[in-house]
């Protein structure tokens, strides 16, 4: 195009306030005194007006870029801490099991360890939500599309559960692992609390972090498919305590990520995650051998 505009219009900022060379802004016009200042400046050298994020005349392109990078940075740090909590929690469980009679934790011991880890996870994710200080709105999808996505996701969940059963059967046989029923139904007094700890808390907290905060932070800097795959890898990696189950958890993460992408909300991922965990607990109680 021979008549390319020399000034590019940024979101909501008048074109006149930006001076561009090629595609890089060289200077910005100070929102207070109207003088030209280098775009790298955090404050106007003439009137000392702030040119940081949120200041009335800040360079929108740069500040958005900075804010996106900062949000992503924070979420990656939180992911690292989450990984650390899972790591320490898993190690503590192993140490407890090592000193326990028959190398097997009592139901209340396993439940207590789970609850401590979940309380720490919940506190961390809520802190991350506050620290992030951003909202990640997705465009509203049409009703027809949402209904179709819900139906497809439920069908996908059945497929993931079937894969889960087959995969764990194969792994148990291949590694000659003994198949035991899960502890949650051995002691009826603990059943309700166990169900809450396994089926209710993880769907809410994990989906809030992986499919809302991390998903939103990544969505600002890359495409939808990339975000779904990366959050699925993160979701699988965060389950350090069950390393052999990570391939299935990765597939589940993909399903939950595409459910989030398809509906634009986290309600479907939460519902799917809840149903998945409930089904796994029920199958474990009946047959054992699932993680």
Partner 1 sequence: MSQDLFSELPPLTQPVPAGPRLGSLAQSARKKQLKTARIILIIVGILTVAGNGLMLGNVNNEVDRTIQKQVDALRAQGQQADGASVAEFRDRNIRYCRIIYGSALVFGVVFIALGIAVYTYPVPCTVLALVLYVGAAAIYGFLSPETLKNGMLVKIVIIIALAKSVQAAVAYRKA
What does the binding site for partner 1 look like in residue numbers (CB under 8 A)? 2, 21-26, 61, 65, 68-69, 72-73, 76, 79-80, 83-84, 86-87, 90-91, 174-176, 218, 221-222, 226, 229-230, 233-234, 237, 240-241, 243-244, 246
Tokens of 88: 């320490």
Angle at 206 between CA 283 and CA 172, to 5 degrees: 35
| Shortest Å, Cβ 287 to partner 1 | 22
- Closest residue by Cα to residue 291 from 280, 276, 279: 280
Closer to partner 1 by CB, 229 or 274: give it: 229
| Shortest Å, Cβ 123 to partner 1 | 20
Closer to partner 1 by CB, 196 or 242: give it: 242
| Shortest Å, Cβ 281 to partner 1 | 23
Residues 202 and 277: beta-carbon distance below 8 Å: yes
Closer to partner 1 by CB, 54 or 223: give it: 223
**Number of other CB atoms surrounding residue 164 within 10 Å:** 22
| Shortest Å, Cβ 224 to partner 1 | 11
| Shortest Å, Cβ 227 to partner 1 | 8
Angle at 133 between CA 128 and CA 136, to 5 degrees: 95
CB burial string 259-286: b at 16+ within 10 A, e below: bbbbbbbbebbbbbbbbbbebbbbbbbe
Closer to partner 1 by CB, 90 or 264: give it: 90
Closer to partner 1 by CB, 102 or 176: give it: 176
CB burial string 173-206: b at 16+ within 10 A, e below: eeeeeeeeebbbbeeeebeeebbebbbebbbebb
Residues 160 and 276: beta-carbon distance below 8 Å: yes
Closer to partner 1 by CB, 245 or 277: give it: 245
| Shortest Å, Cβ 66 to partner 1 | 9
Angle at 104 between CA 102 and CA 106, to 5 degrees: 120
């Amino acid at each position: 195009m021979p008549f390319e505009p020399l000034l590019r219009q940024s979101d909501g900022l008048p074109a006149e306030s930006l001076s561009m060379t090629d595609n890089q802004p060289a200077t910005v016009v100070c929102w207070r005194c109207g003088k030209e200042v280098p775009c790298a400046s955090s404050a106007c050298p003439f009137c000392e007006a702030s040119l940081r994020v949120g200041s009335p005349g800040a360079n929108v392109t740069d500040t958005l870029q900075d804010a996106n990078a900062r949000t992503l940075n924070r979420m990656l740090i939180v992911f690292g801490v989450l990984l650390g909590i899972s790591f320490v929690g898993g190690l503590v469980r192993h140490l407890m099991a090592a000193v326990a009679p028959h190398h097997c934790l009592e139901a209340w011991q396993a439940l207590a360890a789970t609850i401590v880890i979940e309380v720490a996870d919940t506190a961390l994710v809520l802190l991350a939500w506050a620290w992030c200080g951003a909202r990640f709105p997705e465009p509203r999808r049409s009703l027809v599309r949402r209904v179709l996505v819900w139906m497809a996701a439920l069908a996908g969940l059945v497929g993931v559960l079937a894969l889960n059963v087959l995969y764990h059967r194969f792994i148990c046989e291949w590694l000659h692992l003994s198949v035991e029923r899960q502890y949650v139904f051995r002691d009826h007094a603990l059943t309700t609390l166990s169900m809450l700890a396994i089926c209710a808390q993880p769907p809410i907290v994990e989906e809030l972090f992986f499919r809302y905060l991390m998903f939103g932070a990544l969505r600002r800097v890359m495409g939808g498919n990339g975000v779904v795959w990366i959050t699925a890898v993160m979701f699988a990696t965060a389950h350090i305590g069950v390393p052999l189950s990570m391939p299935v958890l990765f597939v589940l993460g993909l399903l939950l990520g595409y459910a989030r992408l398809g509906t634009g909300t986290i309600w479907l991922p939460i519902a799917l995650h809840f149903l998945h965990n409930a089904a796994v607990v029920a199958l474990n109680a009946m047959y054992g051998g699932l993680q």
